[in-house]
Structure 1
C-alpha cells in the first residue's frame, strides 16, 4: 500500500480548487470514478475509423492475450 501523506490530499484539493477548465474537471471526475453519466465522448473521423477497425479485428479473432500484448510492447520499447 502506498503511504498517503495528509499534505498530498491537501495539495490535490488546493490544485482542484484552482482549476477553471471544464475538461480538466471532467477528467478528474472520470479518474475518480464518480457517477458522471452525462459524459459525451467526441471522436473525430480518424478515431471512429480506428474504433471500427478494432471492432472488426475483435469479431474476426485478431486479438492478443495480455501476455502476447505485453511481449510486443516490451519489443517496441527495447528497440
Structure 2
C-alpha cells in the first residue's frame, strides 16, 4: 500500500484524468453535432468550441447547438408545408 502522500497524489491524478476525459468526450460530441449544422453557420460554432475554456462553456455551446438544430428542423418543416 502506498504512503498517504503518494495515495493523495494518485487520487489527484485520477481526478484530473477523469475531468480531462469528460472534456474530451464533450468536445467529440460537439464536433459530431457541428456536422449537423448548416454549413453557413458551422464556422461560428467551431470558433465557439475553440474559445471554450471550461466544461461549462462546452455545455453552453451544446445548448446553443441544440437550439440551432431545432431551428433548422423547424425551417425545413415549414418549407415542406409551403410546398404542399
Give the structure, 1 or 2, with the largest relative contact order (CA under 8 Å, sep 6 or more): 2
TM-score range, shorter-chain basis?
Answer: under 0.3
- Which structure features the higher share of helix residues? 2
TM-score normalized by structure 1?
0.26
